[in-house]
A and B are shown apart, each in its own frame.
Chain A
């Protein structure tokens, strides 16, 4: 690659020709503060926090979008630069609802951090505050524009990464606000509740709808039997909230933590992930052998489901009728488990810990009451669980290792990999292969469907049957795959789609990394590595070998796709309008 040489703060620095000054400086260990910049997502040079002096240029330049050139001389911390950054920051703060101690992002806020780093100790420009919108009508996402700094990181994420595009800067100048059309609520437009905008936001302007109160209340209620399930991806992310490295594995700390919070039973969504594989694998084979609708598309990701309902309704019949593992679990807890244990299902309060904001929406869907009650009462995100633990003074690091409760806490490695993109596909292939061939699958690692590439394709040979599979994560990648099918460019049999980039490990309810941390490491990749390690270390790694799933079929369900399964574990979908209802 062509390299150029420039000087930054008197240091000679080599950088690729197409690098920006910001990149060159970072590589040389020189820190330039940024705010609107989010690598690969939002590189628009809007906030002017990253200004630098460039010899020969009349005004200060924004380093995040400034290309390097040979012989360039850059100064990153002159008095003029520091003053300019300070003024920029103070102007932002002057129109900001400063209430750090009670703000959701207190101690994890880029604005707060910058203010400390730049030494801002007073705001010299007290001014009028713009009119704010507080929108908490969505079951998943809360918008509080009084904290918004108009960096547009959420906008780029929603439009480019997710190709949903329901929030934009509306109006102009002082009145500018990031909002849906006509300042509607996110619940009135075709937002899919993925929460990726929250992950991108540097401040407290976007957050999940907090449901911890409901859980505290249930835990304190002696009448309630409170059951919790934890999704696969939580065990490789919650540790980060307690100072752990990216992808620290806390599988055995989780049960201990949840018991100390007071849950009566601590179960594992990995169990119902295994169950999903049996149902979905059977569904796939049924469609393949009996001329059913193909490609079959996975249905675990409620953000993806809503996206399909709004944007690609022509594919609704391709969606697997299987409910997500969260909802299969919910339906069973208030039927099978309640019966087995002789508990009145109306007394059961069912909580899930999810990496996902869309799960909050999913558990309220009218289709998700098949036990006769709301199957999952509350879905909490990883972040909400972390807040509850901290509030209760429980430090994950100080807990002993414990096991999940039986039987709904028994799982295999196949259930665990649901947490990473490609995992559902891989788990399904492990089972489908053995069902079809009745032979043992020797190499169970389907590495061709793993990894961070946006769209993965493979052809798997199952005893002479060639199965074409595709895996997409992030909804803009889902579009690529669906458009290929639509245009007849691909002949897939089975497609896995996850709404979030990286799959659930990158879910919108996961611990939030700031822009610098996101630059330094791919958090999804690190967490996915941990997920595969969890899988490797499990004694059982194929869903159909899960003994608890086997007894569930024997004692209760009968067989996959049977009558009970149909009633409890499968569902249907609804076409939704793309645009808000016009009056």
Chain B
């Protein structure tokens, strides 16, 4: 309970911070990308509360804001998961079947690239070479590298984080 309360307070504080930040963009319809980027830097993602603030301040529709966020992969609608999985799609990993690894991750987690599981535990991303080509195909979960993967090894790895 105490934790949830703290989270709520932190969220509100960040919203306030974003509100302040947005002031300089008042009425500037063209500043949408910058405004969203800065807001995401503060909050870590772009919840609907933030989207509404941006729409209100820039004087554009919420629909336009949402449309833009979902078009660009560097914006995120959900907070980053507790465990961030990055799948290497660098050349070495790619030729050794990184795509199959990624597909398996997607089905195991039930999410697409750039998304976070509903319980907030995992988020899934793709990335370029992570300097572990000798271990290709490889993924990183938070800071730890998992290499020489096959799709069938994925469930066991994920289990460690349950």
The answer to whether B64 and A168 touch across the interface, beta carbons within 8 angstroms, is: yes
B residues near A167, Cβ cutoff 8 Å: 63
Q: Give chain A nearest CB distance to B61 CB in angstroms.
A: 4
Q: Complex: how many Å from CA A581 to CA B159?
A: 36
User: What residue of chain B has the Cβ atom nearest to residue A173's Cβ?
Assistant: B71
A residues near B107, Cβ cutoff 8 Å: none
The answer to whether B70 and A165 touch across the interface, beta carbons within 8 angstroms, is: no
Q: Interface residues of A toward B: which range?
A: 10 to 19
A residues near B73, Cβ cutoff 8 Å: 172
Interface centre among B51, B61, B64 (most CB of A within 10 A): B61
Cβ of B52 within 8 Å of any chain A Cβ, yes or no, is yes
Cβ of A398 within 8 Å of any chain B Cβ, yes or no, is no
**Also in contact, A159 and B70, with CB within 8 A (given A181-B48, A182-B48, A582-B49):** no
The answer to whether B48 and A170 touch across the interface, beta carbons within 8 angstroms, is: no
The answer to whether B67 and A582 touch across the interface, beta carbons within 8 angstroms, is: no
In A133-185, which residues have CB < 8 Å from any B CB? 159, 164-172, 180-182
User: What residue of chain A has the Cβ atom nearest to residue B112's Cβ?
Assistant: A175
The answer to whether B70 and A170 touch across the interface, beta carbons within 8 angstroms, is: yes
The answer to whether A182 and B61 touch across the interface, beta carbons within 8 angstroms, is: no
The answer to whether B62 and A181 touch across the interface, beta carbons within 8 angstroms, is: yes
User: What residue of chain A has the Cβ atom nearest to residue B63's Cβ?
Assistant: A168
User: What residue of chain A has the Cβ atom nearest to residue B71's Cβ?
Assistant: A172
Q: Give chain A nearest CB distance to B83 CB in angstroms.
A: 24
User: What residue of chain A has the Cβ atom nearest to residue B73's Cβ?
Assistant: A172
Interface centre among B49, B51, B62 (most CB of A within 10 A): B62
Q: Give chain B nearest CB distance to A182 CB in angstroms.
A: 7
The answer to whether B70 and A579 touch across the interface, beta carbons within 8 angstroms, is: no
Cβ of B66 within 8 Å of any chain A Cβ, yes or no, is yes
User: What residue of chain A has the Cβ atom nearest to residue B55's Cβ?
Assistant: A579
The answer to whether A168 and B67 touch across the interface, beta carbons within 8 angstroms, is: yes
Name A's interface SS.
Answer: loop
The answer to whether B66 and A168 touch across the interface, beta carbons within 8 angstroms, is: yes
In A36-77, which residues have CB < 8 Å from any B CB? none
The answer to whether B63 and A180 touch across the interface, beta carbons within 8 angstroms, is: yes
User: What residue of chain A has the Cβ atom nearest to residue B65's Cβ?
Assistant: A181
B residues near A169, Cβ cutoff 8 Å: 67, 71
Q: Give chain A nearest CB distance to B105 CB in angstroms.
A: 18
**Also in contact, A579 and B67, with CB within 8 A (given A159-B61, A166-B61, A181-B62):** no
User: What residue of chain A has the Cβ atom nearest to residue B64's Cβ?
Assistant: A168
In B79-129, which residues have CB < 8 Å from any A CB? none
**Also in contact, A170 and B67, with CB within 8 A (given A159-B61, A579-B62):** yes
Q: Mark A550-583, 1 if CB is under 8 A from B, else 0.
A: 0000000000000000000000000000011010
Cβ 8 A contact of A165, one of B49, B51, B64, B71: B64
Name B's interface SS.
Answer: helix
Q: Complex: how many Å from CA A166 to CA B62?
A: 8
Q: Mark B19-62, 1 if CB is under 8 A from A, else 0.
A: 00000000000000000000000000000110110010000011
Inter-chain residue pair count (beta carbon < 8 A):
42
B residues near A582, Cβ cutoff 8 Å: 48-49, 52
Q: Give chain B nearest CB distance to A206 CB in angstroms.
A: 16
The answer to whether B71 and A181 touch across the interface, beta carbons within 8 angstroms, is: no
Q: Give chain B nearest CB distance to A46 CB in angstroms.
A: 14
Q: Give chain B nearest CB distance to A131 CB in angstroms.
A: 12
Q: Give chain B nearest CB distance to A466 CB in angstroms.
A: 35
**Also in contact, A181 and B66, with CB within 8 A (given A165-B61, A171-B71, A172-B71):** yes
The answer to whether A172 and B63 touch across the interface, beta carbons within 8 angstroms, is: no
User: What residue of chain B has the Cβ atom nearest to residue A171's Cβ?
Assistant: B70
Interface centre among A159, A165, A168, A181 (most CB of B within 10 A): A181
The answer to whether A172 and B70 touch across the interface, beta carbons within 8 angstroms, is: yes
Q: Give chain B nearest CB distance to A461 CB in angstroms.
A: 39
A residues near B64, Cβ cutoff 8 Å: 159, 165, 168
B residues near A180, Cβ cutoff 8 Å: 63
Q: Give chain B nearest CB distance to A240 CB in angstroms.
A: 32
B residues near A170, Cβ cutoff 8 Å: 66-67, 70
A residues near B51, Cβ cutoff 8 Å: 181
B residues near A172, Cβ cutoff 8 Å: 70-71, 73
Q: Complex: how many Å from CA A189 to CA B51?
A: 14
B residues near A182, Cβ cutoff 8 Å: 48, 66
Q: Give chain A nearest CB distance to B103 CB in angstroms.
A: 15
A residues near B62, Cβ cutoff 8 Å: 181, 579
Q: Complex: how many Å from CA A181 to CA B69?
A: 11
A residues near B67, Cβ cutoff 8 Å: 168-170
User: What residue of chain A has the Cβ atom nearest to residue B66's Cβ?
Assistant: A181
Q: Complex: how many Å from CA A181 to CA B64?
A: 9
Q: Mark A118-136, 1 if CB is under 8 A from B, else 0.
A: 0000000000000000000
B residues near A171, Cβ cutoff 8 Å: 70-71
User: What residue of chain A has the Cβ atom nearest to residue B60's Cβ?
Assistant: A165
User: What residue of chain B has the Cβ atom nearest to residue A159's Cβ?
Assistant: B61
Q: Complex: how many Å from CA A551 to CA B130?
A: 86
Q: Complex: how many Å from CA A181 to CA B51?
A: 10
B residues near A159, Cβ cutoff 8 Å: 61, 63-64
Q: Complex: how many Å from CA A582 to CA B62?
A: 13
Q: Give chain A nearest CB distance to B11 CB in angstroms.
A: 12
The answer to whether A165 and B48 touch across the interface, beta carbons within 8 angstroms, is: no
Cβ 8 A contact of A166, one of B48, B49, B63, B71: B63
B residues near A181, Cβ cutoff 8 Å: 48, 51, 62-63, 66
A residues near B70, Cβ cutoff 8 Å: 170-172
Apart from A181-B63, A582-B52: 10 A-B pairs, beta carbons within 8 A = A159-B61, A159-B64, A168-B61, A171-B70, A172-B71, A181-B48, A181-B66, A579-B52, A580-B48, A582-B48
Name 11 interchain pairs, CB-CB below 8 A, sorted by A: A159-B63, A164-B61, A166-B63, A170-B66, A170-B67, A171-B70, A172-B71, A181-B51, A181-B63, A579-B52, A579-B62
Smallest CB-CB A-B distances: 3 pairs = A165-B61, A168-B67, A181-B66
